[in-house]
C-alpha cells in the first residue's frame, strides 16, 4: 500500500494492472522506512487481484484524490486550461506541463497522456479561434474594408508564383 501512496503522490496516478512496476530501489527504500527486512514479500501483493484496486480506492478516499472524469473538477480544469491558453503565449509542451501541475496540485488523478494532450490541443485551438475573431472584429471596427483588402494580399495572381504580400515582404 505504501508503494501505491508513493506512486499516486509522485506521478499523479495509480499503476493499475501492475502496482509493482516501480524501480526495485523504491521497494527497498520503502521497506527500510517500514522496517521490513524481506523485501521479496512485496511480490505477494498482487496475488489477490482486487487488493491493489481496494487499496487505490482507500487511498483515494483517505487523501481526497479525485477522478479525472469528475464533472466539477473537469469543469474547473478546462476553465484553467482555456484561461491559461488565452492569457499566455506558450507552446503545447509548456501548457501540458502546467496542466499536469494543476491536476497534481488539486489532487485530480492524471488521465492517459493522449487524453491530456487532446485537452491541451482543444484549449489552444479555442484560444486561437477567439484571438482570430477578436482581431477580425477590431479590424472591422477600424475599417470595414480592411479585412477584405488584407485577404486580397494573400491571393496569388494568375501567372505569378507569390502573393502580393510575399512580394512586398523583404527576404532575409
Q: Which of 31, 38, 28, 104 is nearest to 73 (CA)?
A: 104
Nearest to 55 by CA among 108, 6, 112: 6
- Among residues 62, 63, 49, the alpha carbon closest in space to that of 16 is found at 49
pLDDT tens profile 98-150:
999 999 999 999 999 999 999 999 999 999 999 999 988 998 899 999 888 88
Q: Where are the alpha helices (DSSP H) in 88-169?
A: 92-105, 113-142, 146-152, 164-168
Per DSSP, the three-state class of 14 is coil
Any idea where the domains of the chain sit in the sequence?
A: 2-62, 71-143
pLDDT tens track for 19-69: 778 888 888 898 899 999 988 888 888 788 888 889 999 999 999 999 999
Cβ 56 vs Cβ 4: under 8 Å = yes
Residue found under cell 473538477:
73
Distance CA 96, CA 112 (A): 12
- In this prediction the pTM is 0.75
Residues whose CB falls within 8 Å of the CB of residue 92, separated by 6 or more in sequence, listed in order: 117, 120, 121, 124
Q: Are 66 and 57 in contact (CB under 8 A)?
A: no
Helices assigned H by DSSP within 63-112: 71-87, 92-105
Amino acid at each position: 500500500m505504501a508503494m501505491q501512496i508513493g506512486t499516486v503522490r509522485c506521478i499523479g496516478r495509480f499503476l493499475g494492472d501492475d502496482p509493482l512496476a516501480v524501480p526495485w530501489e523504491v521497494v527497498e527504500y520503502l521497506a527500510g522506512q517500514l522496517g521490513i527486512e524481506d523485501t521479496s514479500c512485496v511480490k505477494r501483493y498482487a496475488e489477490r487481484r482486487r487488493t491493489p484496486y481496494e487499496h487505490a480506492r482507500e487511498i483515494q478516499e483517505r487523501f481526497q484524490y479525485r477522478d479525472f472524469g469528475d464533472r466539477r473538477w473537469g469543469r474547473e480544469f478546462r476553465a484553467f486550461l482555456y484561461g491559461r491558453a488565452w492569457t499566455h503565449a506558450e507552446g503545447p509542451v509548456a501548457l501540458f506541463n502546467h496542466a499536469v501541475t494543476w491536476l497534481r496540485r488539486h489532487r485530480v488523478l492524471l488521465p492517459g497522456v493522449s487524453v491530456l494532450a487532446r485537452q491541451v490541443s482543444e484549449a489552444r485551438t479555442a484560444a486561437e479561434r477567439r484571438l482570430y475573431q477578436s482581431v477580425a472584429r477590431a479590424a472591422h471596427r477600424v475599417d470595414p474594408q480592411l479585412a477584405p483588402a488584407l485577404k486580397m494580399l494573400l491571393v496569388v495572381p494568375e501567372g505569378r508564383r507569390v502573393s502580393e504580400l510575399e512580394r512586398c515582404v523583404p527576404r532575409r
